[in-house]
Structure 1
Amino acid sequence: MTILDRQLKLIAKQESYDGPAELNDGEGLVARISPTAKITFQYRCRFNGKSLRIKIGKYPATTLKEARRIHKIMMELRESGRNPEIAITGEQDFVTLDDCVNYWLQHYVPTLKKGTQELNRSFAKNYMLGTFPNQNVETIPAKEWMMWLDSISAEKPKTAQSVFAKLRACLNYCKSKFIIERTDIDRIKKQNVGARPENGSRVPTWSELAIIWQAIERSRASTANKTLHQLTMLWGNRLSELRLARLSHFDMKAGIWTVPKELSKTNKPIRRPIPSKARAILERVMETYDDVLFPGHDLDTPITISAANRYIRRIRTSLPLEEWRTHDFRRSLSTGASELGVMPHVVEKMLGHELGGVLAVYNKHDWLEEQLEGYE
């Protein structure tokens, strides 16, 4: 129900008031009324995850018409990712990097897969937010952008290039939404930032995998963290396919694990058989946990990618092996299965890859029996 001006005039003439404490004009604009009949216009909203109640002005010095005009400006500022208080404070109206990153996190990142969402939020928190506070993102010189990226590259050259890619995606999204028009980061070329991630070539041998397996077994981590990585060694899956898995994804009777399309990199379901060694571990996991099979501190929430990576870093530093990472398990499975005579198209299905060319269009077979033989 909208507020009427004559309604406010009647209230303002009274010496006391015992009616509703607020009159609602819609979309967050309210008239707050005190017991002494003093009327104050306010805008209630959420911004950057916080509840705000912004004072617009007191009636009748601020008319209902003026309050609505200011309220409209505030809503436009908020929708564009900027602080609606600017309409009152008169602060310099420019968009900061934090404004852009928060807008991107709020409007674009939630449309991505869960694992990608976590990765983007991690980059935003650890590298982007707070980097250029109170600076107009459109006037930050290319030199300052480059100095910042170089400071990251000094310790983590591959990370610097990933940060650059995420940042450019964020700013391009804001440009597409007309939050900003341009930035000097467009002048920077990708090849001049950090170091490009190398195509993986590390293939842990069977004996190395045995050493890693034993180190995981001896570690004092949670059952969820240990079994997550042991099963990943056996299945050769992408870590988040299993990390985010639910009880309903496993048909123990039929012996099939189905990765739903929302967890699949190919955006299509992936079906794998459950080999005997994996079944024994999986049954133990199912006896320990409920729907979320690989939880973190909260049993209702999957373990985070950062927690999983921290665990593997601890294991890795404790072993006298050449540098390796969890993703290398996939290469070991692919190479080892091929050496044992498993056909290439079956190996590709074990890895959850799409088959190429016309075969991918017409042939939807999963070769589950052949996969199971390969796994065993």
Structure 2
Amino acid sequence: MVRKMLTDRGLKALKSAPPGKRQIIWDAAVPGFGIRITDRGHHSFVLCVRYPGSRYPTPKSLGDVGSISLEQARNKARQHLELIQRGIDPKVDAERRRQAELRKQQHSFESVAEAFIAKHVSKLRTADDVARDLRNEFVKRWGKRPISEIDRHDVAAVIEAKVNAGAPYRARTLFAYVRKLFGWAAARGTYGIEVNPCSLLKPSDLVGAPAIRQRILTEPEWRVLWKATGELRYPLGDLVRVLALTGARLREISEATWSEVDFDKKLLTLAPERMKADAAHVIPLTDSVIEIFKGLPSHDGYLFKGRRRRGEGDVPVSGFSKMKRRLDALMLEEIKLTEWRVHDIRRSMRTGLSALGVQDRIAEMTIGHRVQGLHKVYDLHSFLNERREALKRWEKHLLGIVEPRPNVVPFLGKADT
């Protein structure tokens, strides 16, 4: 077998094979590589070796001259030879890679995110919040990109942008969501992603150490907050007042339904799936809360209804960011106000219980915190009466701040002589 060093110049000088014949000019650089020439002047690169599963060497095309360059054809031949040495048929490998690329295109970040939302997030108590954040913060950015192409640099860019915008708490929350998504996808092994790109990222490096919030409302802030809630239309004003009186979490009250309310027993019973601790929580209702509930415009479905779209049933109230901005604007008309969050109402109420002398255990149970240690296992008493008394004391204290009675000295009249 005569070999010669093939060159681009030599390719241009090639002539057709004799009529009824085919010729192969072998390359001196790569074993089994050459150019096949037909009597019709068709030139193609070939690799002639014994392929896996074949008894004899067989020339197989690598591509037509002109469609790929000589250097590209040589490199392709070398790659095929390497595969054949490992017992892999290049055609089978090419099909495997083609299918992998198809899977990569099918498994866009958007499609995987929606699967994650449907199969995992939907079971969470905070499903709506998590789904909304994933779609708004990540799907909008990476939607059509194959999930396997998204790396830790992409994730870090999103999280650091939130930090730079002055929202470190939100950045930490978003990182937890997307890390869980990638971990879920990698564990399933069907989305072309083998390693979680977040695994090498640390929240402390991206966001910094978590700050422990200690913000509580002062008495002047309680007063202007209460006044501001009176100027908000249903359902938001009433909602905030119930939060202040009960110390409950925002979602626990905003998603409360009338089926959970018992006016006779003066109780609001929240199902386990609605609680952060995954255990049912009973909130004793004080007179002020009952008065608010009875004054609500509707007594079916959700207590605090949101705007529903055409064709939808009742939905709970939403739009809490707008509510907070409205509260801030109303409160700033009265006092200077430092940054605060709706959750600070809960912390302020819990702090108030301690100030009123309520035992820590009763205070924790009152706001729905899980009992820890041996008490969790052996003491299943609900302390309902004690918690009701604690809420009554808090109600009296809070109303004394926000609705103080006029300081009037009663007129006693003239004394008898």
Residue type at the aligned position of 1:314: R
Offset at residue 325 of structure 1 (A): 1.5
Is 2:286 the counterpart of 1:275?
Answer: yes
Match of residue 168 from structure 1: 179
Contact 2:258 2:299 in 1 (8 A): no
Query: For the residues of structure 2 that align with 1:133 and 1:268, how far apart are their CA atoms?
Result: 37
* Aligned partner (choices 335, 338, 342) of residue 322 of structure 1: 338
- TM-score (normalizing by structure 1): 0.70
Is 2:269 the counterpart of 1:255?
Answer: no
Query: For the residues of structure 2 that align with 1:136 and 1:261, how far apart are their CA atoms?
Result: 38
Provide closer, same or farther for how the CA distance between residues 90 and 373 of structure 1 changes in structure 2, counting only shifts above 3 A.
closer
* Aligned partner (choices 345, 355, 378) of residue 339 of structure 1: 355
Residue type at the aligned position of 1:202: R
Structure 2 residue matching 1:130: 3-state secondary structure: helix
Is 2:196 the counterpart of 1:186?
Answer: no
Residue type at the aligned position of 1:145: V
Match of residue 122 from structure 2: 110
Offset at residue 247 of structure 1 (A): 0.8
Residue type at the aligned position of 1:227: D
Structure 2 residue matching 1:288: 3-state secondary structure: coil
Offset at residue 91 of structure 1 (A): 8.8
Contact 1:164 1:193 in 2 (8 A): no
Instruction: Answer with 1 or 2: which has the greater Rg.
Output: 2
Match of residue 138 from structure 1: 148
Query: For the residues of structure 2 that align with 1:91 and 1:265, how far apart are their CA atoms?
Result: 37
Residue type at the aligned position of 1:106: A
Query: For the residues of structure 2 that align with 1:360 and 1:183, how far apart are their CA atoms?
Result: 36
Structure 1 residue matching 2:198: 3-state secondary structure: helix
Contact 1:236 1:351 in 2 (8 A): yes
Is 2:254 the counterpart of 1:243?
Answer: yes
Offset at residue 140 of structure 1 (A): 3.2
Match of residue 207 from structure 1: 220
Structure 2 residue matching 1:265: 3-state secondary structure: coil
* Aligned partner (choices 367, 370, 384) of residue 368 of structure 1: 384
Provide closer, same or farther for how the CA distance between residues 258 and 153 of structure 1 changes in structure 2, counting only shifts above 3 A.
same
Structure 2 residue matching 1:296: 3-state secondary structure: coil
Match of residue 409 from structure 2: none
After superposing the two structures, state which structure 1 stretch, 168-177 or 312-321, moved more.
Answer: 312-321
Structure 2 residue matching 1:209: 3-state secondary structure: helix
Query: For the residues of structure 2 that align with 1:104 and 1:332, how far apart are their CA atoms?
Result: 36
The one-character-per-residue Cα deviations of 1:299-321 (angstroms, maximum 9, x if unpaired) are 711112xx123202321244222
Query: For the residues of structure 2 that align with 1:149 and 1:210, how far apart are their CA atoms?
Result: 37
- Identity, in percent, stands at 24
Match of residue 5 from structure 1: none
Offset at residue 264 of structure 1 (A): 1.0
The one-character-per-residue Cα deviations of 1:52-88 (angstroms, maximum 9, x if unpaired) are xxxxxxxxxxxxxxxxxxxxxxxxxxxxxxxxxx99x
Match of residue 294 from structure 1: 304
Match of residue 170 from structure 2: 159
Match of residue 68 from structure 1: none
Is 2:277 the counterpart of 1:266?
Answer: yes
* Aligned partner (choices 311, 314, 323) of residue 311 of structure 1: 323
Contact 2:179 2:196 in 1 (8 A): no
The one-character-per-residue Cα deviations of 1:140-198 (angstroms, maximum 9, x if unpaired) are 34334323332232213332222221111001001111122125333322222134542
Match of residue 108 from structure 2: 96
Query: For the residues of structure 1 that align with 2:145 and 2:206, how far apart are their CA atoms?
Result: 22
Match of residue 11 from structure 1: none
Contact 2:229 2:236 in 1 (8 A): no
The one-character-per-residue Cα deviations of 1:74-129 (angstroms, maximum 9, x if unpaired) are xxxxxxxxxxxx99x9696463322321221121111212xx10111121122010
Aligned residues: 283
Offset at residue 277 of structure 1 (A): 1.2
1:67-82 maps to which residues of 2 (within 5 A)?
none
Offset at residue 217 of structure 1 (A): 0.6
Query: For the residues of structure 2 that align with 1:235 and 1:207, how far apart are their CA atoms?
Result: 20
Provide closer, same or farther for how the CA distance between residues 192 and 278 of structure 1 changes in structure 2, counting only shifts above 3 A.
same
Match of residue 79 from structure 2: none
Provide closer, same or farther for how the CA distance between residues 244 and 177 of structure 1 changes in structure 2, counting only shifts above 3 A.
same
Structure 2 residue matching 1:187: 3-state secondary structure: coil
- Structure 1 unmatched ranges of 5 or more: 1-85
Residue type at the aligned position of 2:243: T
Is 2:247 the counterpart of 1:233?
Answer: no
After superposing the two structures, state which structure 1 stretch, 173-182 or 318-327, moved more.
Answer: 318-327
Query: For the residues of structure 1 that align with 2:214 and 2:104, how far apart are their CA atoms?
Result: 52
Query: For the residues of structure 1 that align with 2:221 and 2:102, how far apart are their CA atoms?
Result: 63
- Tell me how large the CA RMSD over aligned residues is: 2.3
Query: For the residues of structure 2 that align with 1:264 and 1:197, how far apart are their CA atoms?
Result: 24
- Structure 2 unmatched ranges of 5 or more: 1-97, 393-417
- TM-score (normalizing by structure 2): 0.63
